[in-house]
Amino acid sequence: MKEFWNERYNQSTYVYGKQPNTFYKSQLDLLVPGSILFPAEGEGRNAVYAATKGWQVDAFDISDAGKTKATQLAKEYQASLNYTIGTFGHLPYKKEQFDVIVLIFAHFDPENRMEYHQQLCDYLKPNGKIILEGFSKKHLEYSKKNPAVGGPKNPDMLFSKEMILSDFKGFKTLLLQEQEVMLQEGEYHNGMAHTIRFVGLKDT
């Protein structure tokens, strides 16, 4: 997978654009800045936006090319972020380190997804928030009609409401929606999609 993402990000253009995800931005703009983590952050569009708003930003990904692009984007916006190349089980973060964790189209191997989500939950402070948007089970039909909209081809990597509630069962659900969304995020997220949106509050 590292080779796949390095190849995708090793282009002069930002393949998912430079602007933050619309849903995530709408949620972040409601919050007082603190510490925030972006797993599977790729080219850095969401992390850089948080940094420009005064957040203390950490991000990680497996892609060296993604980090290079994110660093360039941060410099362009005169923003600062800590970006780690790493995988789950080998990350430098501490228990209850972050106020917010953001998962935007972060689709993990189905065999490890619940374990990875639990590890992220451990990094979150009590009363911390998860902000998530990912492709739903229904999205497969959308990507078949329009490959430019992107998303995993493996249906087991797509989300349902039940999966979200199970993976984040220690959370108070502030928002959980499944809906059609028009994506205009660079070359690979372009068109009508079907997504799950979730905001959860970690219980004390």
The rounded percent of the chain whose pLDDT value lies above 70 is: 100
Which domains does the chain possess? 2-202 (3.40.50.150)
Helix (H, G, I), strand (E, B) or coil at 154: coil
Task: Determine which helix (DSSP H) or strand (DSSP E) holds 113, and give its type and residue range.
Answer: helix 113-123
Strand partners, 61: 85
Helix (H, G, I), strand (E, B) or coil at 90: coil
Tens-place pLDDT, residues 20-76: 999 999 999 999 999 999 999 999 999 999 999 999 999 999 999 999 999 999 999
Mean of per-residue pLDDT scores for the chain: 96
Tens-place pLDDT, residues 79-114: 999 999 999 989 999 999 999 999 999 999 999 999
Strand partners, 193: 181
> Beta-strand (E) ranges in the chain?
35-38, 56-61, 82-85, 98-104, 124-135, 171-185, 189-202
Strand partners, 101: 37, 130
pTM: 0.96
Of 72, 81, 76, residue with least CA distance to 102: 81
Model confidence at 9, pLDDT cuts 50, 70, 90, reads very high
